[in-house]
Amino acid sequence: MSHKIKKYSRTIKSLILGAFIGLFLAVFIIKSLSPYIESESGLLFIFKIYALIGAVFFFYIVHIIIHEVGHLIFGILTGYTFVSFRIASITLIKENNKFKIKKFSIPGTAGQCLMMPPELKDGKYPFIIYNLGGGLMNLLISFASILIIIITENKVSTLNLILTLESIAGIIAGLTNIIPLKVGGVANDGYNILSMLKDEYAKYGFYAQLKTYALLTKGYRMKDIPFKDIECKEGVDLSNPLVASLKLLEHSWYLDNMHLSKANICLNSLNSVNDDLIPIIKYEINCEKIFLELIGDCNKDVVDKLYDDNLKKYIKASKFSISKKRFLMAYEAFYEKDLDKALKYFREGEVLALKYPVKGEAEMELMLMNWIKNSIIETT
């Protein structure tokens, strides 16, 4: 009972906070844009409203880039090194001292700047500035624009309109990243900072994820990474997104070593906190649970229960994720018994691997897909 009250309390707090942010932004936007939307014609007024909304959306996209650049700059200032820079699905990585363009995306995220963290010193590393960097850059650019507007004596001009729209987009981007929120089922930067300040092990979980993905991008496999570096300790809070993500890394390590029973045990250890997990982690867990069921007993009742409409939408949105090609290949091969479709996903996985930014992950997934392919051949 107390658990449910705590959960609803968090939801109510988030709604109240969201309402305050919305009210502040509404007042700011109306006050800032009112000189530009005055019109005697109702039709022209409506046109101006839609045009301004479209312009804010455009500048919001610009601020996504600014946000990720902020992470990059503040990361470098605190000892991090560049790994990859992604906007939408376009990903810039450094491979063999050369910059290359790859394709990758995570549903619920518009961009991402991944960096290798500095080595731990007495179990500590700088994480606040790196995480705040994106939102701070959005706000700094926005406040600079507002300052220019003030200096030019609030004249109604094209430049001031552009700066006003840009600053609105920047404030929205900055606040919705710095203020702890779950946006689209994904924990934002502020939420991650709060998680790490509250839970020391979440801080390590974040560090381990950054370091692991940096190594995978360089070509290391999960099985090459010392298990002790990604193993979850007993008694930690698995409902914390950063700790649960570490558990998923542990699962990947078992998969890469083909320890399938241990991989299954690892996933089931998250059952007790399932209701408290953020959607994106739930989806990943269910994908992997279904996969292990498909290549094991293939109980259709178990698969049908987990493979709901929300998960199907998530998988469809994850078209640049090679692990989803492996999932779909297994589903077609063992559930639908459609070998042609299974091999279609196999070929798609091979093509995707060529431009996949996380090299080590791609190699692991190709290994698993080849294993499925060989299993198909043996049974036909």
* 227 found inside a domain: yes
274: three-class secondary structure by DSSP: helix
Lowest mean pLDDT among 33-37, 91-95, 169-173, 295-299: 33-37
Residue 298 φ/ψ region, left for φ over 0, alpha for ψ in the -120 to 50 degree band, beta for the rest: left
pLDDT of residue 98: 86
Residues 228 and 189 in one domain: no
CA–CA distances in Å: residue 221 to residues 163, 179, 237: 46, 35, 27
Q: How confident is the model at residue 1 (pLDDT cuts 50, 70, 90)?
A: very low
- Taking the model in full, what pTM does it have? 0.87
Q: What is the DSSP letter of 277?
A: S
Instruction: Tell me: do 140 and 252 sit in the same domain.
Output: no
Identify the domain boundary among 193, 209, 235: 193
Q: Are residues 65 and 135 in the same domain?
A: yes
Q: Is residue 92 in some structural domain?
A: no
Whether 100 maps to a domain, the answer reads no
Distance CA 206, CA 191 (A): 12
55 lies in some domain? yes
Does 178 fall in a domain? yes
Tokens of 17: 């906070």
Helices and strands of the chain, counted as H and E runs: 15, 6
What integer is the mean pLDDT of 27-44?
A: 66
Asked if 187 and 331 sit in the same domain, the reply is no
Last residue of a domain, one of 193, 209, 232: 193
| 117 CB-near residues (< 8 Å, 6+ apart) | 79, 80, 125, 127, 130, 207, 210, 211, 214
* Most confident listed range (4-18, 51-65, 299-313): 299-313
% of the chain at pLDDT higher than 70: 88
As a whole number of angstroms, the distance between CA 149 and CA 239 comes to 45
Q: 121 versus 88: which is more confidently predicted?
A: 121
Structure token pair of residue 97: 């001292």
What confidence category does residue 70 fall into, taking pLDDT thresholds of 50, 70 and 90? Answer: very high
How many domains does the structure of the chain reveal? 2
What pLDDT is stored for residue 8 in this prediction?
A: 55
Could you list the residue range(s) of the whole structural domain that residue 45 is in?
A: 2-80+117-193
Residues 38, 184, single domain; the answer is yes
The bridge status of strand 98-103 relative to strand 111-116 is unpaired
* Confidence tier at 6 by pLDDT (50, 70, 90): low
**Domain end call among 148, 174, 193:** 193
Of 168, 167, 169, 194, the C-alpha closest to 180 is: 194
The average pLDDT across 102-107 equals 81
Of the pLDDT bands very low, low, confident and very high (cuts 50, 70, 90), residue 167 is very high
- Tokens 């008694």, located at residue: 235
Q: Are residues 233 and 270 in the same domain?
A: yes
- Asked if residue 228 and residue 189 are part of one domain, the reply reads no
Both 176 and 302 in one domain: the answer is: no
Interatomic CA distance for residues 337 and 340, integer angstroms: 9
Does residue 156 sit in the same domain as residue 231? Answer: no
Write down the pLDDT at residue 170.
96
Q: Is residue 246 part of a domain?
A: yes
Burial of 140 (0-12, 13-18, 19+ CB in 10 A): middle
Say what the pLDDT of residue 156 is: 61
> 280: part of which helix (H) or strand (E)?
helix 279-294
Q: Is residue 149 located within the same domain as residue 248?
A: no
Co-location of 160 and 65 in the same domain: yes
The answer to whether position 328 is within a domain reads yes
d(CA 20, CA 69): 28
Cα–Cα distance for residue pair 5/20, rounded to 1 Å:
23
Residue 42 lies in a domain: yes
Which residue bears the tokens 């500590």? Answer: 124
Instruction: Specify the DSSP element, H or E, that contains 74.
Output: helix 42-77
Pair (249, 364) in one structural domain: yes
